[in-house]
Chain A
């Protein structure tokens, strides 16, 4: 068993589980009925992908997938803090969904070439579903970004909020160097981070949210945006403001979470923990 491989898969699985959990909080509440149905599928997809990753981990460690997913202490979860943030409004949910799924696409594309064959095969399957997620996110982003001013302003604010936490998706995995040396991880996280921010900058430009990004060597990213000014005369300028320090977003990969995770964890795991050994 390789500890570095388990570390990488745990981070992926925890990202998907925690984000899927958040997404599923919209089930029954999404602001458009048809979207409620669509978004519930995305929640199920994410939890399904998490389950598949946990099973691969279980194959290496001999631990049951539910036990890994629901039976650990909070500081043993390796999800990026982006995933655990409360849903906020639909704009924040969209912004996070969009950032996350584009980041996920990049890292899965790279990871498909991992030396661990079962992981590679699984990622090939997962990427098929993630294509729908990308189209879904892009279509919504475009509609809101090009739509009436309130939605557009909310989206700008939401992207501004979510971007610093998105940095945490590319915080190096535990034992990352070892994972690279052993062939499990084909591309270093910091290289993916650069690609991600370049792509997001371009995409935000195309959506009419001019933003310039640059990554710093210490993996902290800062987003400086110019005003989009003339888009809607007399209304908010629609620019992505300078993001707060990205350091707030780091730590998830080392088990350091924000306060939002504590209540999520408590709710998600309480019933499982209350009945040790029970089957459901």
Chain B
């Protein structure tokens, strides 16, 4: 056992082929005002302005979205160990399926009400 040094990991650029002056930018787009931004890909660019220009044509040239974000990959963090995201024990009460027998229960409660009334 030891105190965990840190559970967050930065995305590292796949530095092999990338010139010093360039970065990977992750691209997010949103279809409309009611939708969330969703990741759609990434571009290699020297700065955010260029990343936006490139991202637009790479990922929104068929009107796939009305809004565009780019985020430098090095600004994105993730867990070292993504199995932490699994839900291990029973959390079925967080899901609607846990309450799917509502029709049966309604019927039972109705009968109980009639039985008491009669």
Q: In the complex, is A directly touching B at CB under 8 Å?
A: yes
User: Which of A's residues lie within 8 Å of B, judged by CB?
Assistant: 44-45, 48-49, 51-52, 102, 105-106, 109, 125-126, 128-129, 131-132, 134-135, 138-139, 141-142, 195, 199, 202-203, 206-207
Contact A131 B90 (CB under 8 A): no
Contact A131 B2 (CB under 8 A): no
With a CB–CB cut-off of 8 A, which chain B residues contact A109? 1
Q: How far is the CA of A65 from the CA of B2 in the complex (A)?
A: 34
- Residues of chain B from 57 to 103 with CB closer than 8 A to chain A in the complex: 81, 83-84, 86, 88-91
Contact A203 B91 (CB under 8 A): no
Q: How far is the CA of A105 from the CA of B1 in the complex (A)?
A: 8
User: Which of B's residues lie within 8 Å of A, judged by CB?
Assistant: 1-4, 6-7, 81, 83-84, 86, 88-91
Given B3, B81, B83, B88, which contacts A206 in the complex, CB threshold below 8 Å? B3
Contact B89 A126 (CB under 8 A): yes
With a CB–CB cut-off of 8 A, which chain A residues contact B7? 135, 139
Least distance between B24 CB and chain A CB atoms (Å): 27
Q: How far is the CA of A109 from the CA of B4 in the complex (A)?
A: 16
With a CB–CB cut-off of 8 A, which chain B residues contact A125? 88-89
With A45-B89, A48-B89, A48-B91 known as contacts, the answer to whether A131 contacts B84 (CB < 8 A) is: yes
With a CB–CB cut-off of 8 A, which chain B residues contact A134? 4
With A44-B91, A128-B83, A129-B88 known as contacts, the answer to whether A199 contacts B1 (CB < 8 A) is: yes
Can you spell out 19 A-B residue pairs with CB atoms less than 8 angstroms apart? Answer: A48-B89, A48-B90, A48-B91, A102-B1, A105-B1, A128-B86, A129-B88, A129-B89, A134-B4, A135-B7, A135-B84, A138-B3, A138-B4, A139-B4, A141-B3, A142-B3, A199-B2, A202-B2, A207-B3
Given A52, A135, A142, which contacts B90 in the complex, CB threshold below 8 Å? A52
Top 5 nearest A-B pairs (CB, nearest first) are A128-B88, A129-B88, A48-B89, A135-B7, A138-B3
Q: How far is the CA of A142 from the CA of B3 in the complex (A)?
A: 9
Contact B84 A132 (CB under 8 A): yes
Least distance between B116 CB and chain A CB atoms (Å): 16
Q: How far is the CA of A129 from the CA of B7 in the complex (A)?
A: 14
Residue among A102, A129, A131, A135 with the most chain B CB within 10 A? A135
With a CB–CB cut-off of 8 A, which chain A residues contact B81? 131
Q: How far is the CA of A49 from the CA of B6 in the complex (A)?
A: 25
Least distance between A39 CB and chain B CB atoms (Å): 16
Given contacts A44-B91, A135-B7, A138-B3, 18 further A-B contacts (CB under 8 A): A48-B89, A48-B91, A49-B89, A51-B90, A105-B1, A109-B1, A126-B88, A126-B89, A128-B83, A128-B88, A139-B6, A141-B3, A142-B3, A195-B1, A199-B1, A203-B2, A203-B3, A206-B3
With A131-B84, A132-B84 known as contacts, the answer to whether A52 contacts B89 (CB < 8 A) is: yes
Least distance between B50 CB and chain A CB atoms (Å): 34
B84's nearest neighbour on chain A, judged by CB, is A132
With a CB–CB cut-off of 8 A, which chain B residues contact A138? 3-4
Residue among A44, A141, A207 with the most chain B CB within 10 A? A44
Q: How far is the CA of A135 from the CA of B9 in the complex (A)?
A: 13
B8's nearest neighbour on chain A, judged by CB, is A139
